[in-house]
Chains A and B, each alone.
Chain A
Amino acid sequence: MAVKIDREVIDEFCPRLFRVLDSLGLLPRTLLAKPNEFEKYPRLLFGSIQRYNDVDAGFKEWESRILREAAGKNECYPDIEGLRQWMLDHSEKFVRKANLQHLSTSLYARLFQYLYPRRVLANAYCLNHRGEPAVLGKFKRLVSAQDLETRQDAQADLEALLDTDLLQSVDPLVSKLKTVYANEWETVVDDAKKSLIAGAHYYCKVLSGTEKPVPAELEAEAEQQAEPYDNGKGEEE
């Protein structure tokens, strides 16, 4: 018999967790990363909670670990704290073995589902504006900001640009995606903006053409897969 899980809580929890991790730069930029690169930090959290059988203790251990490894920790700390508070409010759900088991096994699908439209939007925007000084300049300004005030100023400037330009410039390119994510499109766009700002270093390289989103050899590997049934095993004579 199937074990009942607290799906509503899990469905609400996952985007919260992924958003925090993305803002800390702890999720892969490419969608072709190995599953364990996607799952590494969420799994660490579930492991800590299981080890202590306590959400607060598990979260704190995990928090110290990710803060050691993350970029932009100061700006993101309120989000991490918000996540901790939310998890404490639902702590009884997170110590249920069935829920943690389900989270672990469905993590890759859920992460992919979350990241896919956000990465596509961000990539499409950068590739569409590749080499454009106006856009590249704003990203560079944010990346090179030395002090907090300049940084906040550059961020506000980039936010304003993305608010007006992001959807307008990529909307015709992502209509297919919009159909699939119709119910949460606004959230996706907001997250994509935040992701572009949080990953300004990386996207700066994409805009300037020094970083290609997908390595060339992977294209060839994937093209080979385009021909179905290339292996004769299991075919009927």
Chain B
Amino acid sequence: MDSTEGIVLDQARSAIEELGVGDFVSPEEVAKSVTGKVTYWEKPLPSGEWLLLIRLFSGAIQREEVFLGSILFNAFLSKAFLRVFNDGKLGRASLVANDVDDYYFLVCTASGVEDLADALRSEVEHSLPDLFFGAPDEGRGIYGDLARMFTFRKSEFEPFPVYAVPEFLAPALEKAVREQLRILLTEERFPGSLRTVLAAIAFFYGRTSGGSGDAQSFPKFVEHLATDREYDNLLKTDDVKRAFNVGEVAKPAIKESIDKEAYSTKHLRQLLLGLLNGFAASIDAGSGKWLLPFLRKDGKFISLEPSEYVNCLLGEVQLGYYVFQRSFNRTRVPCRLCNRVEAVVEDRYVTTGLRSFRFHNQSVRHQAEKVCPRCALYSYLGQKLLGTHMVSVAGKLPQVPKTYNLIFHYGKHTDDEIRRLADQIDDLWGLVRRHEDLDRIRREARKQVLALSERASHEHDSAKSSKLAEELAAKADELKAVEADLENTERDIAARYPWVKEMGGSVVPAENHVLDTLANLDISENRVERHVLGLGISGYRMILFVLPQVRPPRDAVEHDFAQRRFSSSRIMVTALLSLLRELCGCDGPFYYQSLPVLAADAFRRDTFYVRNEPIAVAKVHSEYEVVTQIAWKLVWQRGSDGFVRKVVLAEKLLEDPLPTFAEVMRGSLVPGETKRSYRRLPGAYREDWGTYDFTAYAAFVNRLSRIQEVKDSGGEN
């Protein structure tokens, strides 16, 4: 059972067993239909029902801005379809298999496909508030958490993708925002999230924009709330003065108080809680005055009726032979991302990322709307999972969606195993980060020890000299302790993940390409950027790894400087895939910048698919690991700058092994050179040989010769 057919056959058997229809259809027939991309068939059952094989098709949009969201939406759709059968009125259904676009179900039902489609439409419409603002629930296809979108600290640029939200969900949004604010206003959270709270209150409840507007300036909003009659006197002047420690209620004074942190945290928290209660009382009483006033007035929401909006989301989705229709005004330029649906959403950094406001076809037609509601939702779902961050663009600091690396995998993993997989990534990442921190401390301590020794050697005053000696001894002890901690961390890595050394030649993260890749991923301490999602139901299912991108060097002009080099390097991508493969411990295929497809002979086990090119795992071990081990031993620079250099060297070594290594030897081995471009490989002077021990170089030349041999004999994929 090496191929697609084997895997689908396994799954078909389970689905048939679950529905108890083994007498009427064989697993082989179902598997053949799935791999043959059959859309629909039906068979009568003795009970009067029909056994249907239905394909639910929703094409994923392969644009970075929306790809993750479209996958999440497809998973949501598949689970919504299964929920249609929850009450048993429409029959029973079981998921057979799925890839990114297609979900195949076996259904026992007395209803027609049109009825099932209607039920799906209703279920989607009913679940929209949860999809947008609900807590994560993988069973319902709801991923991510609204809390991850509340990390912004400014409201000058839209910090929240309100442009992706339909207007009929504005009350639900306000309720969810209020809930988030209450969480952030708890005594423990408030000091750390004060800026977010202030920006969120101004953005969501501000009434005006522009020069004297308050939606972009919290101090101005406070001034209005305390002094402007139109603002219902929701804040009392004395309370404001006490909270901000100011003599007068005016924007400059309040701003200064916030900037200089002169406010009273306790009183400010009480003031904001009171303000929130004021908004809530007005809204709950049915008034729309404080219901996201400026956002609604400015028309930031998508103004479509619920049914129109759902039609827009489901447009071109296919359920068996039934195609959900979409309406499209042909006189307008379609969405710049999917090119299928009418664009009704304006370009904004927080919705469409850093590539917003560039030249697009819509610009020629003076059409401000560039994105369709469906792509806007996809972007929103991606942000709900990964969050947003502030990025510098032409001197401005807009909030943009976080970028990611997506890796697909087919494997037999239960929900618990998937959770364990995520924990293992965290654990390994934690060890790597700990090693990095300790290494930094060690280098600093070494420098200090050297400096102190130098000073001590030149000091003639005995009192000062003895004081320096004491300091030196203390620093030396500190150095020893850090070195011991480092050794322990390396021992922990080797003990918990023994394959790491075999794969990368070392357990020191800076010298091991696999660990260094992990160390250079832009994961934050709370690890919201890392996710392992099981997209199928059970059995041999599709797993999605969402990992952050490689962080750029400090002085990089382009934000994706390191990521681009990483993603265009087969060697590095397969290194990351090898790491995930070892962690999950199965032989299923992995995909990077490739889409898994359920078709005959579409994939094999023990294979990585990188940009649709199949690469055998054995090849990765035999060839790629040699060049990466060399590159990681020879390049001395650290951080993401060093990472890029290592990637470039590894690629060059693979492309042209011996000439590149000759160049490396010139920059590493030749004595008397003051500026070495590479580290010298370890090898002490051997008195008995009368020379340095350069066996490491010889061993690498031998291994590279073998790679050259394979390449020249045409053994390369």
Seen from chain A, the residues whose Cβ lies within 8 Å of a Cβ on chain B are 2, 4-5, 7, 11, 30-32, 34-35, 102, 105-110, 112-113, 116-117, 119-120, 123-124, 126-128, 173-174, 176-177, 180-181, 206, 212-214, 218-219, 221-223, 225-226, 228-229, 231, 233-237
Contact = CB atoms under 8 A, between A and B. Distances in A.
Given A2-B711, A106-B662, A34 B670 contact: yes
B665 A212 contact: no
Contacts of B670: 32, 34-35
A112 B665 contact: yes
Which of A112, A180, A236: most chain B Cβ within 10 A?
Answer: A236
6 contacts: A32-B691, A106-B658, A109-B658, A110-B701, A124-B690, A126-B690
Given A105-B663, A112-B697, 10 more contacts: A2-B711, A31-B691, A108-B665, A113-B701, A113-B702, A180-B702, A214-B690, A235-B443, A236-B440, A236-B639
B689 A233 contact: no
Nearest to B693: A176
Contacts of B440: 236
B659 interface: yes
B682 to A, nearest CB: 8
A219 B670 CA distance: 13
Contacts of A112: 665, 669, 694, 697-698, 701
B355 to A, nearest CB: 28
Top 9 nearest A-B pairs by Cβ distance?
Answer: A234-B637, A213-B690, A236-B639, A105-B659, A106-B658, A123-B690, A109-B662, A108-B662, A7-B712
Given A105-B659, A108-B662, A222-B680, A31 B694 contact: yes
A222 B692 contact: yes
Given A109-B665, A218-B671, A228-B679, A4 B712 contact: yes
A235 B442 CA distance: 13
Interface string B692-709: 111101110110110011
Contact of B690 (A4, A212, A228, A229): A212
A106 B666 CA distance: 11
Contacts of B642: 234-235
B712 A116 contact: no
Contacts of B708: 7
B439 to A, nearest CB: 9
A34 B672 CA distance: 9
Contacts of A181: 698, 702
A128 B688 contact: yes
A28 to B, nearest CB: 12
A111 to B, nearest CB: 9
Interface string B343-377: 00000000000000000000000000000000000
Contacts of A105: 656, 658-659, 662-663
Contacts of B637: 233-235
B350 to A, nearest CB: 29
Interface string B658-689: 11011101100111100010011010110111
Contacts of A34: 670, 672
B326 interface: no
Contacts of B436: 236
B548 to A, nearest CB: 16
B679 A127 contact: no
B638 A116 contact: no
B174 interface: no
B61 to A, nearest CB: 33
Given A2-B655, A31-B694, A176-B695, A221 B641 contact: no
A219 B685 contact: yes
Interface of B: 436, 440, 443, 510, 554, 636-642, 645, 655-656, 658-659, 661-663, 665-666, 669-672, 676, 679-680, 682, 684-685, 687-695, 697-699, 701-702, 704-705, 708-709, 711-712
A115 to B, nearest CB: 10
Nearest to B674: A221
A113 B645 CA distance: 25
B505 to A, nearest CB: 15
Contacts of A126: 690
B716 to A, nearest CB: 9
B688 A35 contact: no
A119 B672 CA distance: 21
Contact of B695 (A180, A206, A218): A180
A95 B601 CA distance: 45
A206 B690 contact: yes
A34 B666 CA distance: 9
A47 to B, nearest CB: 17
Given A234-B641, A235-B639, A35 B666 contact: yes
Nearest to B633: A228
Contacts of B671: 32, 218, 221-222
Which of A11, A109, A233, A237: most chain B Cβ within 10 A?
Answer: A109
Contact of A127 (B655, B669, B690, B702): B690
Given A107-B662, A117-B698, A124 B638 contact: no
A90 to B, nearest CB: 16
Contacts of A234: 636-639, 641-642, 645
Given A35-B670, A106-B662, A237-B554, A30 B695 contact: no
A26 to B, nearest CB: 19
A219 B698 CA distance: 20
Which of B443, B662, B695: most chain A Cβ within 10 A?
Answer: B662
Contacts of B711: 2
A34 B671 CA distance: 8
Which of A31, A124, A174: most chain B Cβ within 10 A?
Answer: A31
B422 to A, nearest CB: 25
Contacts of B666: 35, 108
A31 B705 CA distance: 20
Nearest to B659: A105
A181 B672 CA distance: 28
A212 B685 CA distance: 13
B75 to A, nearest CB: 36
A2 B710 CA distance: 14
A180 B703 CA distance: 10
A218 B699 CA distance: 23
Contacts of B690: 123-124, 126-127, 206, 212-214
A233 B440 CA distance: 14
Contacts of B636: 228-229, 231, 234
Nearest to A3: B656
A7 B699 contact: no
Contacts of A30: 691
B693 to A, nearest CB: 8
Contacts of B663: 105
A46 to B, nearest CB: 14
A229 B443 contact: yes
A124 B698 contact: no
Contacts of B695: 116, 176-177, 180
B698 A236 contact: no
Nearest to B520: A236
A22 B698 CA distance: 19
Contacts of B669: 112
B48 to A, nearest CB: 64
Given A113-B701, A180-B702, A214 B691 contact: yes
B390 to A, nearest CB: 19
A222 B692 CA distance: 9
Contacts of A177: 695, 698
A4 B645 CA distance: 26
Given A212-B690, A218-B671, A222-B692, A180 B698 contact: yes
B689 A236 contact: no
Nearest to B443: A229
Contacts of A176: 693, 695
A110 B659 CA distance: 9
A122 to B, nearest CB: 9
Contacts of A108: 662, 665-666
Contacts of A212: 690
A52 B698 CA distance: 34
